[in-house]
Amino acid sequence: MKTIQQLTDEFLEQKLALPIWFEDGTLKLLDQLKLPFEEEVYTITAVPELADAIKNMNIRGSGAIGISGAYGLYLAALNSTGHEQSIREAGALLKSTRPTAVNLMKTIDEVLSIVNGKGTELITKVEQKVVEILERQLAFEHQLGEHGASLIKDGDTIMTHCHSGAVGGSGYGGRALSVIRKAFDLGKEIHVFTCETRPYLQGARITAYELKKFGIPHTLITDNMSAYCMSKGMIDKVVVGSDRVAGNGDLANKIGTYMHALAAKAHSVPFYTATSSHTIDFSSESGESIEVEMRNAKEVTHLNGTPIAPEGTNALYPSFDVTPNDLITGIITEKGVVSQPFSQNLKALELEKTFQ
């Protein structure tokens, strides 16, 4: 069976933009807060360090934090020499870091489902499960990219919000950028409008960084320019990522997504979300039951530690919003593009997975 180190070597040979990887017996993490000006790599030696990195946004993106959870449990297995309770405690800690990110929860639960026994045998079991998850996640990115690229026409201008790309996923293109990158790789002439995405500026810092690296023509806009651009016919399609999709198709994604979806509906611009089926939460019947992570208001009143508002200013930071399913044209998955009615068609997708 393939080891994590062997898989890492394969990924590095493919020149993937890895957000996190295992190398020479330690866990390596690209600090996304330093992008695009520095590509600083941290060495993670213990699970609490990884939990802090997830919570503090050093690593983010639904795919990336999902595989971080898997890596974290492998690290816990190694550090505890295969102690079952220590691995389970590590899983609980990691799940507490980002409550809206269902991919993290599901990935950890999948690894924990095989955690029984002890010692070297348990470490090997965890390693094999993590290898399986890592290979599957990367395959998902290519597959959903292919399905999404079929929606993109030659000459299209696509708008995206936040960052749902390689370092936010498994290294190829994450979610939304898998669609965009695959269309570009197929030779389609496209242009991308990327929203800056306050307050962390992931669109300006990371999406633009990756689009430049991939050679894809792009234009940066502020978040409040999307409706203007659509009204002027500058945008042909919107493709965003996802942090959770409810069973009825409601979408939890980076704050601001709902606003862009409303603008797209008003101007008859198709609005798609790209996700893996792993990120669809059938336990949430609708977006009303999705917990939205509330982050520190200082992240709004400060930019990279520098105050941008008068001292004592009150601020609010819901990290995500929920876009109602009637604003969504289609949900792009590794199984294909799911259309309305989402409650019915997503359920069919769930049944297909169940019987595989």
Q: How distant is the alpha carbon of residue 3 from its chain centre?
A: 25
Q: Is 281 a catalytic residue?
A: no
- How far is residue 28 from each of residues 19, 54, 78, 177, 247, measured CA to CA in Å? 8, 13, 15, 23, 35
Over its C-alpha atoms, the chain yields an Rg (Å, rounded) of: 20
DSSP three-state, residue 185: helix
Strands (E), 128-199: 157-160, 191-195
Give the total residue count for the chain: 356
List the 336-338 sheet strands across, edge first.
218-221, 191-195, 157-160, 237-240, 271-274, 330-333, 336-338
**H or E element: which one contains 244?**
strand 244-246
- Catalytic one among 31, 154, 185, 243? 243
Q: Which amino acid is at 57?
A: M
Residues noted as catalytic: 243
